[in-house]
Amino acid sequence: MTDTHCPYCALQCAMRLTSAPGTPPSSGAPAPTSERDASVGAEPRQFPTNQGGMCQKGWTSPQVLTTPDRLTTPLIRNTAGHLTPASWDDALDLIASTITTIQAEHGRDAIAVFGGGGLTNEKAYQLGKFARVALRTKNVDYNGRFCMSSAAAAANRSLGIDRGLPFPLTDLTGADAILLVGSNPADTMPPCVTHLQGARNRGGLIVLDPRRTATAELTGPIPPEGIHSTHGAHLQPIPGTDLAVLLGIAHVVVMEKLADHTYITNRTEGYDALAASLSPWWPERVAQLTGVAAEQLRWVARTLAAASPHHGGRGAYIITGRGIEQSRQGTNGVTAAINLALLLGLVGNVGSGFGTLTGQGNGQGGREHGQKADQLPGYRSITDPQAREHVASVWGVHPDDLPGAGQPAVELLNSLGQPGGPRALLVHGSNVVVSAPHVRRVQDRLAALDLLVVCDVVPSETALLADVVLPVAQWAEEDGTMTNLEGRVVRRRAAVSPPGQVRSELWVWQELARRLHAPGVWSTCPSEVFDELAAASAGGRADYSGLSYARLDEHERVTGGVDGSGLYWPVLGPNHPGTPRLFTDVFPTVSGRAALVPVQHDGPGDTVSAQFPVFLVTGRLLQHYQSGAQTRRVAALTQAVPGPYVEIHPHLAEVYSITEGDDVLLTTARGRARAAVRFTSTIRRDTVFMPFHWPGVGSVNRLTNPSTDPISGMPEFKVAAVQLARVTEDIA
Ligand SMILES: Nc1nc2c(c(=O)[nH]1)N[C@H]1C(S)=C(S)[C@@H](COP(=O)(O)OP(=O)(O)OC[C@H]3O[C@@H](n4cnc5c(=O)[nH]c(N)nc54)[C@H](O)[C@@H]3O)O[C@H]1N2
Ligand SMILES: Nc1nc2c(c(=O)[nH]1)N[C@H]1C(S)=C(S)[C@@H](COP(=O)(O)OP(=O)(O)OC[C@H]3O[C@@H](n4cnc5c(=O)[nH]c(N)nc54)[C@H](O)[C@@H]3O)O[C@H]1N2
Ligand code: SF4
Ligand SMILES: [Mo]
């Protein structure tokens, strides 16, 4: 029996694996296949975020350990174009020699690295170090750019620090009101719903989503002619207009004198400019722009205010998700949500707050330790001379030898194989040909490379395009730490041995660093890498210096996992208790105050037109995870949802003579996709929805807009303008 955490989302539900522990692969030694236990089971444990619950994906997660097409040996593409088994030495020699040749001819930045928010802290840290010290390239970024970058940029700008939830998730339980902006936790983090029940019971659960999702359903039906229900309200805006909705609510807060002026005076700066910027956003104007009724905007403002501490309420929270963030105005959208929370005096007041629900398992830690183009470990800036000096000293190199900031993910992918762009790409933990925006363009860029190396656990669609595929260990096969959506660092533990020739990625980087004659220490032992990470993070914003495996294990033993195993960063020393709640006294900004930053609504890059008359929104289904590389290999999950589909309102379908069960062709300025339709009356009549979990003709990312937020680099996944037609022909 091994206590660990789920391989998937950032809730990091605690689970117990029922199997004999195997040999951790930290030595890099391959384990004989016979040692593997094919019958690993998972069951939930008590833990604050999941309260003993788990979703279907968590329950079935061990099946990915023994999936029949698991990668078990390195593969090299032969001259006939086929991926064929190879030895580790051959694969690593080939990679190292090709990198050396490319760099000699095209310079160090000709090698690019793409990481993932599912990697453990140790691997995310080592990958960033490998890019800067062994490859000495500036071109490293990761899929968190698709996920958390807008929320991160907004929190850094307004609050001085980016920790998804700056409070324990369980704090939500006591609130009178919770506003969820573009977030669907009932499908994306099911056990999280228990924390929404308090606000729901008190009539204060408010959900902003163009679809009536399972989360919106929790608010209960709004009576005809009414504006709210007994449990709260579902606001169903025109896609891409959330920012305007938030400006409208904030306008009411200011005009109806609902703001907390004591808090504003003591803890914020910039009120006058913010109030002036809000004046054009009166509710009737916002209603016209967004489709959300003016009276509903007023009701939300009053409900949040009544729940706020300065009006004697039990507390209020404003929480954002990808629905508002994955937009070319995502940073400003989240900023509008933070402004509203600051006006109401919520942030840093225990029992109230602002937060974002981080997505991937290690979406939080993955963005702190250096796989982001502009960051060094500990959430340090790569352009800050002091940060460079500190990290260089931990790495045993000269600060001048560290590269500068690289390009964010979309721009990086688009530069591959272009004149002056990278000629090789190493991918660790992302399936970009399914999950990046405008995937047809991504495929073209990958095809233009001299070398594509993919490390994965399964033959993902991206791995199948690679020149070299390296089989690496996954969650239950190696030790590590993850930082969950609350900034809580938890232990992931090895339970089984990896199969065949599978090795730890830490070993891969050690071997490549050696072949590239890189300076520094390249440990393959996760706890040693963690200690190095802790030292590198010391003094940074995400300071882990007081943590070690020994301390985390002891803490879990003492708490029994129930009321708080894992510690919240910053943890400033071995006796520092960690920081469950940020901002209670001061904001980590230059002035110590939070900034009220005026923002305006602009709208999505695509506008609906005669050519593309319908909104397309994208997102997730309960049963599948991300690009589907893992969950499409689990029988129960593919049985539940076997393939892609398009949600459409029957009235809209009628306009296009589409009937239930038809296949529909979707066309945007980027390309075409095809999928079956599913009728639902819960979506707006001007909008269709498609999940992004599948490759091929049903991949919604053939359609999505790669234009990015100028501050965060976040692509506009959520909203596109689309043409619909009944399918009459096959498409490529
Ligand atoms: N089952 C499952 N769970 C997951 C994941 C998964 O792939 N599958 N992935 C994990 C990860 S990495 C992440 S980032 C999280 C994401 O978690 P969420 O943010 O909850 O998930 P999404 O479905 O991407 O988007 C949320 C909602 O945004 C809505 N939306 C679309 N356009 C708009 C808009 O213009 N405005 C507003 N207000 N809403 C809009 C969609 O209808 C959708 O219901 O989930 C995590 N959990
Ligand atoms: N249209 C649309 N597109 C989206 C989104 C959306 O809402 N709409 N959401 C975006 C978001 S929020 C995200 S987070 C991305 C996610 O999309 P991806 O970045 O594609 O994420 P995954 O599908 O989780 O891919 C992880 C890959 O890593 C592999 N893997 C698992 N563990 C390990 C490991 O330890 N090491 C290595 N090397 N590999 C491992 C898995 O098998 C899988 O192939 O998608 C984005 N794309
Ligand atoms: S909610 Fe997230 S962490 Fe929990 S079991 Fe499901 S996928 Fe795993
Ligand atoms: Mo994500």
Q: What is the pLDDT of residues 377-410, one digit of tens each?
A: 999 999 999 999 999 999 999 999 999 999 999 9
Q: Is the CB–ligand 1 distance for residue 619 below 6 Å?
A: yes
- Mean pLDDT across 655-671: 95
CB 339 within 8 A of CB 599: yes
Ligand nearest to the CA of 625: 1
Share of the chain above pLDDT 70, in %: 97
Q: Is the CB–ligand 1 distance for residue 320 below 6 Å?
A: no
User: Band of the pLDDT at 28, cuts 50, 70, 90?
Assistant: very low
Give me ligand 2 centre to Cα 118, in Å: 8
d(CA 419, CA 31): 44
Give me ligand 1 centre to Cα 397, in Å: 41
pLDDT at 70 over 90: yes
- Mean pLDDT across 512-537: 98
pLDDT at 602 over 60: yes
Structure tokens at 281: 């956003």
Q: Is the CB–ligand 1 distance for residue 213 below 6 Å?
A: yes
d(CA 204, CA 145): 32
Mark 527-549 as b/e (b = at least 16 C-beta within 10 Å): bebbbbbbbbbbebbbbbbbbbb
d(CA 597, CA 470): 46
Structure tokens at 686: 């001007």
Q: How many residues does the chain have?
A: 732
* Lowest-confidence region among 20-24, 331-335, 408-412: 20-24
- The pLDDT score that the predictor gives to residue 35 is 44
Nearest CA to ligand 2 atom 14: 147
Q: Is the CB–ligand 2 distance for residue 477 below 6 Å?
A: no
- The pLDDT score that the predictor gives to residue 731 is 75
Residue written as token pair 């850094």:
156
- What domains sit in the chain, N to C, each tagged with a CATH number? 75-146+362-485+494-525 (3.40.50.740), 149-357 (3.40.228.10), 614-726 (2.40.40.20)
Give me ligand 1 centre to Cα 703, in Å: 17
Q: In a 10 Å sphere around its CB, with 0-12 CB exposed, 13-18 middle and 19+ buried, how is residue 697 labelled?
A: middle
Share of the chain above pLDDT 90, in %: 94
Q: Is the CB–ligand 1 distance for residue 258 below 6 Å?
A: no
Please give the angle made by the CA atoms of 134, 137 and 142, to the nearest 5 degrees: 100
Ligand nearest to the CA of 47: 3
Give me ligand 4 centre to Cα 9, in Å: 8
pLDDT at 564 over 70: no
Q: Is the CB–ligand 2 distance for residue 524 below 6 Å?
A: no
Ligand nearest to the CA of 183: 1
Kindly report, residue by residue over 95-121, the tens digit of the pLDDT.
999 999 999 999 999 999 999 999 999
CB 203 within 8 A of CB 635: no
| Shortest-distance atom of ligand 3 to CA 7 | 8
Instruction: Report how far Cα 525 is from the mean position of its chain's Cα atoms.
Output: 27
Q: Could you tell me where the DSSP H helices lie in 282-395?
A: 283-290, 294-307, 322-325, 330-343, 363-366, 385-395
Q: For residue 274, what is the enclosing H or E element?
A: helix 271-278
Nearest CA to ligand 1 atom 33: 323
pLDDT at 368 over 60: yes
For residue 571, give Cα distances in angstroms to 172, 482, 535, 575, 694: 23, 15, 12, 9, 40
pLDDT at 434 over 60: yes
| Shortest-distance atom of ligand 3 to CA 9 | 2
- Mean pLDDT across 359-383: 97
710 upstream amide cis, omega within 30 of 0: no
Q: Is the CB–ligand 2 distance for residue 358 below 6 Å?
A: no
Q: In a 10 Å sphere around its CB, with 0-12 CB exposed, 13-18 middle and 19+ buried, how is residue 683 labelled?
A: buried
Q: Is the CB–ligand 3 distance for residue 15 below 6 Å?
A: no
- The pLDDT score that the predictor gives to residue 562 is 60
Structure tokens at 563: 């009321």
pLDDT at 464 over 70: yes
Q: In a 10 Å sphere around its CB, with 0-12 CB exposed, 13-18 middle and 19+ buried, how is residue 282 labelled?
A: middle
Instruction: Report the 10 Å Cβ neighbour count for 440.
Output: 15
Mutation to probe ligand 1, out of 11, 620, 649, 719 (largest number of atoms < 8 A from CB): 620
User: Band of the pLDDT at 376, cuts 50, 70, 90?
Assistant: very high
Q: Is the CB–ligand 2 distance for residue 178 below 6 Å?
A: no
User: Band of the pLDDT at 586, cuts 50, 70, 90?
Assistant: very high
Structure tokens at 301: 């403002």
Mutation to probe ligand 1, out of 143, 718, 722 (largest number of atoms < 8 A from CB): 718
Q: Is the CB–ligand 2 distance for residue 426 below 6 Å?
A: no
Kindly report, residue by residue over 115-148, the tens digit of the pLDDT.
999 999 999 999 999 999 999 999 999 999 999 9
Mutation to probe ligand 2, out of 627, 670, 705, 714 (largest number of atoms < 8 A from CB): 627
Q: Is the CB–ligand 2 distance for residue 149 below 6 Å?
A: no
d(CA 57, CA 190): 10
- The pLDDT score that the predictor gives to residue 36 is 46
pLDDT at 659 over 50: yes
Q: For residue 471, what is the enclosing H or E element?
A: strand 468-471
Q: Is the CB–ligand 2 distance for residue 4 below 6 Å?
A: no
Mean pLDDT value across the chain: 95
Q: Is the CB–ligand 2 distance for residue 504 below 6 Å?
A: no
Structure tokens at 440: 């047809």
Collapse the DSSP code of 370 into the 3-class scheme (helix H, G, I; strand E, B; otherwise coil) and give the result. Answer: coil
**Whose CA is closest to 247, among 597, 578, 617?**
597
Give me ligand 4 centre to Cα 508, in Å: 26
User: Band of the pLDDT at 621, cuts 50, 70, 90?
Assistant: very high
